[in-house]
Amino acid sequence: MLTTVLGFSLYEEGLLFGLRTASRLILLSFSILMFFISTPLTVLIDYLQNKGLPTYFVLMLLLTLHFIDQLPSRIHQIFLAQQARGAPVDAGVFSRTKALLSILSPLVLSSIVESIERGTALELRGFLNRPPPDRQTGQVDTRINLLTVCFYLTAFFIIADSIYRWLNI
Q: List C-alpha distances in Å: 30 to 112, 125, 155, 156.
A: 25, 33, 9, 13
- Closest distance between another protein and the C-beta of residue 131, in Å? 4
Cβ–Cβ under 8 Å, residues 59 and 122: yes
129 vs 139 by CB, closer to another protein: 129
CB of 148 to another protein, least distance (A): 21
Closest approach of another protein to the CB of residue 42, in Å: 5
3-state secondary structure of 144: coil
The Cα-based distances of 136 to 47, 110, 128, 140 in angstroms read 8, 36, 20, 11
* Minimum CB–partner distance for residue 156 and another protein (Å): 33
- Rounded Cα distance between 85 and 162, Å, is 54
Is beta strand 8-10 parallel, antiparallel or unpaired with respect to 3-5?
Answer: antiparallel
Site residues, another protein (CB under 8 A): 41-42, 44-45, 62, 66, 69, 77-78, 80-91, 101-106, 109-110, 113-114, 117-118, 120-131, 133
